[in-house]
Amino acid sequence: TSLQCLIVTDHDPSTLERARNNHETTLEELLDSHHCANEDDEFTTINNIGSIPTHFEQLDWNHGQYDVKYVQELIMEHSVPAQTKADTVLGSDLIYHASVVEPLFQTAVLLLMGGGVNDKKTNTTTASRGRFLLSQSFAYDGETELEIERCCHELGLTRTVLWEDQGGKNRIL
């Protein structure tokens, strides 16, 4: 499947504004660049990237259900066939204390489920079809590691370390 929409979220409005500016600058640089083999390739590349609906929205994990419903409405507006679940939730350096793990993971599961329900026969939800990917540039303390494991267990998530540098300082989960 192709990317149907991109929704960038953060709790901090200034971070969202920087993300929007970076996105716009990248599109402008693509328009000004001549990296493609010919003009037709350049036009196709710019048109494909520029035609992806992109939204920058505030999302508070601690008040997740209200904010998540709005994000789900955006997903539904831009997905064919219409759906309210995200295919992928991607985050970087989001966990700075053990106390943010549970609201973050609950929010991610809500986005991945899109209002789906748990199937008692197979013990799966619609969230099992999506991916929640995290990267980090620092090692978690022991308390945070335990909280991540607890939340994964309680929410039915599988934690897999895809890449880790020596010492566990940088990781993609």
* CB atoms inside a 10 Å sphere around CB 29: 10
Give the integer Cα–Cα distance in Å for 116 and 37.
45
User: pLDDT value at position 66?
Assistant: 64
Query: Hey, is 9 helix, strand or coil?
Result: strand
* CB atoms inside a 10 Å sphere around CB 123: 9
**Mean per-residue pLDDT for 79-86?**
80
Is residue 68 within 8 A of residue 111, CB to CB? The reply is yes
Give the pTM.
0.74
Instruction: Select from 88, 62, 63, 92 the least CA-distant residue to 75.
Output: 88
Is residue 83 within 8 A of residue 76, CB to CB? The reply is yes
Residues 135-157 pLDDT 10s? 888 888 999 999 999 999 999 88
**Percent of the chain with pLDDT strictly greater than 70:** 75
pLDDT beyond 90 at 98: yes
Residue 56: enclosing H or E segment and its boundaries? Answer: strand 54-58
User: pLDDT value at position 97?
Assistant: 93
Is residue 171 within 8 A of residue 163, CB to CB? The reply is yes
